[in-house]
Amino acid sequence: MEKFEVDILGCGSATPTIQHNPSSQVVNVREKLFMVDCGEGTQLQMRHSRLRFGRLNRIFISHLHGDHCFGLLGLISTLALLGRTGDLFIHSVAGLEEILRPQLDFFCKDNPFEVKIETFDPVNSEVIYEDKSVQVKTIPLRHRVPCAGFLFREQEKEAHLVAEMIKFYNIPIKELAKIKQGADFVTEDGAIVPNARLTRPATPSRSYAYCSDTAYSEKIIPIIEGVDLLYHEATFTQEDASRAKTTGHSTAKQAAEIAKLANVKKLMLGHFSARYTDNNILLDEAKVIFPNTILANEGLREKL
């Protein structure tokens, strides 16, 4: 099966600690690396995780709080030092161009590639990137500033051919592509062989949803329904629910409630507040509601 993995580079909140780096992760789809957020220390964590800088495809920035984008300038500078020549595309809410461009003009004016920033509307869910392997769609989130999460979904796969049937009906190679896409086969004497006899159902497409930073919002449920893995911020415990509401964040209990309502297969908690020295308190809170929950951690590589 082709690769679909999530590497956690940082899962802390605004204040860096000796436990966690600020937010960043990489989604690896068939060796194409898609970065989600880029807090301080991201490029060092890429080294620790042995991720290849040359395979970095695109960067997606959820919102313009520093713990999600302060690492961009250093990463871009390093990409130039490593010899990148292809343009780098960054998808972001509006405002990043005005913030980042002056820094690039000063520190990276001789870069051998261009940084192209494409903005999206964080209010509406929309497809912002698509290729033959994956589609990326925004997830409107509730935070103190415009913010969106991202849904990575493999493109629909073709049906599997039943080799014995293909051989039995002596089907020409030129017909196989159409059969994979659902066509029946017509023999030389005009008999129709139904597609269901020639194929097995395609392998289900895998999906990953990233939701950070956000207050509790059931509006995201139809978008993330049934995903294989949901990363949902759990900045606070339920004991600090009032603080979560004030700052536009979620508790671990609320993250678990969203996972349960959305029928996701697995929940990963992240964006931990620096006030908790042991994140297991968050894990325990979530597992009461949604047992298949894990904690994010730097260096974790989750395979879908």
Task: Judge whether 105 counts as a catalytic residue.
Answer: no
Closest CA to 133 of 251, 32, 210, 213: 32
Closest CA to 146 of 219, 214, 63: 63
Backbone angles phi, psi at 241, to 5 degrees: -60, -35
Options 67, 121, 189, 278, the catalytic residue = 67
Nearest-angstrom CA–CA distance, 68 and 38: 5
Q: Which residues have a catalytic role annotated?
A: 67
